[in-house]
Amino acid sequence: MTRKNQSQLDHTLRERALKLFPWVCAHCGREFDGKTLHQLTVHHKDHHHDNNPPDGSNWELLCLYCHDNEHQRYHVADSSAAAPTIHEPDRPSTFTPLARLGDLLKRKP
Ligand SMILES: [Zn+2]
Ligand SMILES: [Zn+2]
């Protein structure tokens, strides 16, 4: 039931956005008409779908491809900020330079 309400909401939201803005992708500038209009989607600039100001200032019309890219960029930036030490973990507590030095000395003739 909530799912249906959500899709109905999206539908009217999109129609409102299509009345407000020219049918052009805001990123690649591709133009749309009645035949291709289904490829034009409403993107929320702040990624909050509940933020729908009546003047459409949080909306952007994007084609399917640019919309995908936009969300991928967002997710990549999000995950790298959340886990900055995913490559090369720094663990000074298990790093034992003296033990390695000992190994090096033993190998010397
Ligand atoms: Zn586009
Ligand atoms: Zn979006």
Give me the pLDDT at residue 14, please.
94
Alpha carbon of 86 to ligand 2 centroid (Å): 27
Q: So what's the pLDDT on residue 43? A: 97
What is the whole-number distance in angstroms between the Cα of residue 48 and the centre of ligand 1? 20
Q: How far apart are CA 89 and CA 98, in angstroms?
A: 20
DSSP secondary structure string for all residues of 15-71: HHHHHHS-SB-TTT--B--TTTGGGEEEEETTS-TT---TT-TTEEEEEHHHHHHHH
Tell which residue, 33, 43, 42, has the closest CA to residue 15.
42
pLDDT tens-digit map of 63-74: 999 999 999 987
Ligand 1 mean position, distance from CA 86 (Å)? 32
Q: Give 89's pLDDT tier (boundaries 50, 70, 90).
A: low
Kindly tell me if the per-residue pLDDT of 75 is higher than 70: yes
Q: Is the pLDDT of residue 76 over 80?
A: no
pTM for the full predicted model: 0.62
pLDDT digits (tens, 9 = 90+) for 8-51: 777 789 999 999 999 999 999 999 999 999 999 999 999 999 99
Q: 92 alpha carbon to ligand 1 midpoint, in Å?
A: 47
In the reported structure, the alpha carbon of residue 77 is separated from the centroid of ligand 1 by a whole-number distance in angstroms of: 20
Reading the block at residue 45, the tokens are 């600039």
| Dist. CA 51 → ligand 2 center (Å) | 12
Ligand 2 centroid, distance to 90 Cα (angstroms): 36
The band of 85, judged by pLDDT with boundaries at 50, 70 and 90, is very low
